[in-house]
């Protein structure tokens, strides 16, 4: 490695590299066509969050400390410039794929997106009726003049800059007007099939408004109408000083989030220079922060299209998650867990037993208490409803609700108020430390004694994402583990010094040290000539001290296999630094989300499942748990299914290069195709 290269890569460029891998899915002709469209939309959704969070953070950092290097050794200004160039490239490629590959391919399959210039008479009439009845009554055009200042625009809302000439009824000269598209309306509409020769046809709301915008300005000449969208800084800022009620503070901040500082302006590529310069000036943005796109400014809204079309031939083959025989609905789950620990690998195996565990606890007269964390559960949750039922039945219900779960704050506030209304104890965690641990504890009276049961997961208690995120969930009544879970709950809800845990490692107290100690043990095994290998699967690796420890392990001869879906700022395969480290990323039909760590330990492997990635925030600024898997068959199963299968994947895997770029792994002619996700779907699902 040359001296000019940092030992660490740029975090933001690594995140954009992940989105390039997702974008490659939209180009992959082996993937069903409507699923390729979904992947294109996922990139847009990811980039929205990237600008709202990471780019916004970079801009704030530049303002606050412009001369202090970032983690990769570069100044904020340099990183922003490099990231901006890459973001422009990705977005340009995204629209090229949409226009040149997906639209023509979809058209051949009878699915068309009709531009205004192609509308036939019937389509024009349908659009006119829709505008008259659905759009016109709720549109409020704002003509810009001293009496009508530029309106406050919601984050990521669809807007139109309209150029006018002539005089209005009050004698005012035409100039510029702003029209905001109502958020309540869909951004893409399906035309009746009889207007599309029996095929599926769609029009964009922006096209409808473009076609009829002149009706909003009677007697004026519309010179041009240009769609645009502003992305804003979406970080919540809640100070501890004078803070009396976190819930009230978060509720107030949520409204302000919609009007944070601008970080990106998207405009249609036909928008003239003087118009986008006017918008840039108003939002205090530079030319680099302008993104001119050849198509709709919000491709995320196309995510609805696959679900609007009954075309199973253009989608992934559906599967029904399996349920182990021991967990069928006729069995009492507490009896099952008493016999043995239960491990479920979602979504290959159903999330339903997890829901049923809490439901049975709510109904079981022997259960006296339930404790549970909520980070993301969705707006409709059978789990939370079961907790409410338990509280109404008089059970002791304690729910730790994380109000700072980004973009889920409002949903969590709503659940918190509903839970409090039925008598549950609701705790908002520890200020300054997000409660990211995924755990539930059930206390049951059995034969006159109290028995504890726990559910521990790598993912959220969210029934929706459990169908598309890969996660591991453990059900156990192990006295040490359930005792540790109870201790963590006591630390969160009460006050006091951290307690010694029997088996679980916990952030922010012991997890970081456990990981460093485990890496150090592998180094000692390697030096002693014993088997030394680390296999770790996670979403992101950006914590510098862990990375330096892995570099040291590599130099000692430890074989390090990292399976990291998203960000990774470690440089693998660098001679003298990391030649024994390999990093791969699995990007496929499902979102890889499980965190699994395996240390060979001289032949006596230690396996952990965790809620934590190897990031500073997870290890030092969140409450996380990392749980050992000690049952031999479950340990072997995790190693085989979550780790070794990922390492053998030659269909959905990408190998990271020392410079941070990724190359797709291609199987040789002698190799059998291995698709980790499809293998597990075939193994477990009830098709």
Cα–Cα distance between 297 and 158 in angstroms, integer? 8
Q: What are phi and psi of 541, to 5 degrees?
A: -135, 110
Cα–Cα distance between 596 and 644 in angstroms, integer? 12
Cα–Cα distance between 121 and 613 in angstroms, integer? 56
- What are the tokens at 447? 């034969």
- Does an H or E element contain 483, and which? helix 479-493
| Positive/negative CA dihedral, 627, 631, 636, 637 | negative
Residue 550 Cα to chain centre, angstroms: 27
Report the interhelical angle of 11-27 vs 76-96 (nearest 10°): 10
> Strand 158-165 and strand 342-346: pairing?
unpaired
| Positive/negative CA dihedral, 180, 184, 186, 191 | negative
Strand positions, DSSP E, 313-420 = 342-346, 367-374, 396-401
Dihedral through CA 346, CA 350, CA 351, CA 353, nearest 10?
Answer: -130
User: What's the DSSP call for residue 303?
Assistant: G
Q: Which residue has the tokens 């509280």?
A: 391
Cα–Cα distance between 531 and 440 in angstroms, integer? 36
User: What Rg, from alpha-carbon coordinates, does the chain have?
Assistant: 27
- Please say whether the beta carbons of 240 and 210 come within 8 A: no
Report the interhelical angle of 33-49 vs 11-27 (nearest 10°): 160
Q: Which residues contact 173 (CB under 8 A, 6 or more apart)?
A: 165, 166, 167
User: What's the DSSP call for residue 232?
Assistant: E
- Does an H or E element contain 266, and which? strand 262-268
- Does an H or E element contain 219, and which? none
Helix, strand, or coil (residue 563): strand
- Does an H or E element contain 497, and which? none
How many residues are there in the chain? Answer: 687
User: What's the DSSP call for residue 340?
Assistant: S
How many other C-beta atoms can be found within 10 angstroms of the C-beta atom of residue 537? 28
Cα–Cα distance between 25 and 575 in angstroms, integer? 32
Q: Which of 583, 557, 563, 561 is nearest to 571 (CA)?
A: 583
Q: Which residue has the tokens 């180094």?
A: 523
User: What's the DSSP call for residue 644?
Assistant: I
How many other C-beta atoms can be found within 10 angstroms of the C-beta atom of residue 10? 23
Q: Is 210 a catalytic residue?
A: no
Alpha helices in 453-565 (DSSP H): 479-493, 511-527, 544-555
- What are the tokens at 141? 């055009």
Cα–Cα–Cα angle for 362, 367, 371, rounded to 5 degrees: 70
Could you say which of 210, 212, 436, 462 is catalytic? 436
- Please say whether the beta carbons of 604 and 45 come within 8 A: no
- Does an H or E element contain 627, and which? strand 622-629
Quick one: how many helices (H) and strands (E) in the chain?
A: 21, 27
- Please say whether the beta carbons of 184 and 144 come within 8 A: no
Which residues are identified as catalytic? 436
């Amino acid at each position: 490695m040359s001296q000019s290269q940092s030992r660490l890569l740029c975090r933001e460029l690594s995140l954009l590299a992940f989105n390039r891998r997702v974008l490659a899915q939209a180009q992959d002709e082996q993937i069903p066509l409507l699923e390729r469209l979904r992947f294109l939309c996922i990139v847009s959704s990811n980039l929205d969050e990237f600008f709202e969070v990471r780019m916004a953070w970079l801009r704030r950092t530049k303002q606050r400390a412009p001369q202090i290097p970032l983690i990769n050794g570069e100044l904020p200004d340099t990183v922003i410039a490099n990231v901006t160039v890459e973001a422009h490239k990705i977005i340009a490629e995204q629209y090229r794929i949409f226009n040149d590959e997906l639209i023509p391919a979809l058209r051949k399959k009878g699915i068309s997106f009709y531009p205004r210039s192609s509308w036939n008479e019937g389509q024009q009439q349908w659009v006119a009726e829709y505008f008259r009845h659905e759009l016109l009554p709720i549109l409020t055009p704002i003509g810009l003049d001293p009496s009508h200042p530029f309106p406050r625009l919601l984050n990521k809302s669809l807007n139109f800059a309209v150029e006018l000439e002539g005089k209005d009824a009050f004698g005012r000269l035409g100039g510029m007007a702003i029209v905001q598209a109502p958020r309540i309306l869909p951004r893409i509409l399906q035309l009746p099939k009889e207007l599309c020769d029996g095929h599926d046809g769609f029009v964009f709301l922006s096209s409808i408004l473009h076609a009829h915008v002149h009706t909003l300005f009677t007697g004026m000449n519309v010179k041009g109408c240009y769609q645009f969208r502003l992305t804003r800084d979406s970080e919540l800022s809640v100070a501890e000083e004078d803070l009396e009620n976190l819930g009230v503070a978060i509720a107030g901040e949520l409204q302000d989030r919609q009007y944070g500082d601008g970080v990106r302006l998207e405009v249609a590529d036909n928008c003239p220079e003087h118009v986008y310069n006017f918008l840039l000036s108003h939002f205090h943005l530079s030319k680099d922060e302008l993104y001119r796109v050849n198509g709709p400014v919000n491709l995320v809204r196309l995510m609805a299209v696959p679900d609007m079309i009954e075309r199973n031939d253009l989608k992934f083959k559906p599967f029904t998650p399996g349920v182990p025989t021991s967990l069928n609905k006729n069995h009492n789950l507490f009896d099952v867990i008493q016999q043995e620990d239960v491990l479920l690998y979602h979504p290959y195996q159903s999330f339903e037993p997890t829901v049923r565990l809490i439901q049975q606890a709510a109904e079981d007269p022997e259960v006296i208490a339930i404790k549970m964390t909520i980070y993301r559960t969705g707006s409709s949750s059978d789990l939370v409803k079961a907790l409410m039922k338990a509280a109404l039945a008089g059970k002791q219900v304690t729910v730790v609700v994380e109000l700072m779960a980004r973009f889920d704050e409002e949903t969590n506030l709503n659940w918190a108020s509903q839970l409090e209304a039925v008598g549950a104890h609701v705790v908002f965690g520890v200020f300054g430390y997000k409660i990211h641990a995924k755990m539930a504890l059930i206390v049951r009276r059995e034969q006159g004694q109290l028995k504890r049961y726990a559910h521990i997961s790598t993912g959220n208690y969210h029934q929706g994402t459990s169908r598309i995120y890969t996660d591991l969930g453990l059900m156990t009544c192990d006295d040490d583990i359930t005792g540790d879970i109870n201790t963590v709950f006591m630390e969160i809800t009460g006050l006091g010094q951290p307690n010694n845990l029997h088996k679980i490692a916990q952030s922010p107290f012991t997890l970081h040290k456990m990981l460093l100690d485990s890496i150090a043990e592998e180094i000692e095994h390697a030096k002693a000539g014993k088997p030394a290998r680390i296999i770790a699967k996670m979403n992101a690796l950006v914590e510098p001290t862990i990375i330096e420890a892995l570099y040291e392990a590599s130099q000692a001869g430890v074989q390090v296999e990292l399976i990291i879906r998203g960000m990774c700022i470690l440089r693998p395969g660098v001679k003298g630094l990391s030649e024994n480290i390999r990093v791969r990323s699995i990007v496929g039909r499902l979102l890889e989300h499980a965190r699994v760590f395996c240390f060979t330990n001289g032949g006596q492997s230690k396996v952990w499942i965790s809620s934590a990635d190897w990031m500073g925030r997870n290890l030092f600024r969140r409450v996380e748990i990392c749980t050992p898997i000690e049952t031999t068959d479950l340990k072997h199963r995790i190693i085989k299914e979550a780790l070794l299968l990922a390492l053998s994947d030659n269909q959905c895997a990408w190998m990271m290069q020392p410079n941070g770029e990724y190359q797709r792994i291609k199987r040789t002619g002698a190799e059998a195709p291995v698709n980790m996700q499809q293998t597990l779907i075939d193994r477990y699902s009830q098709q």
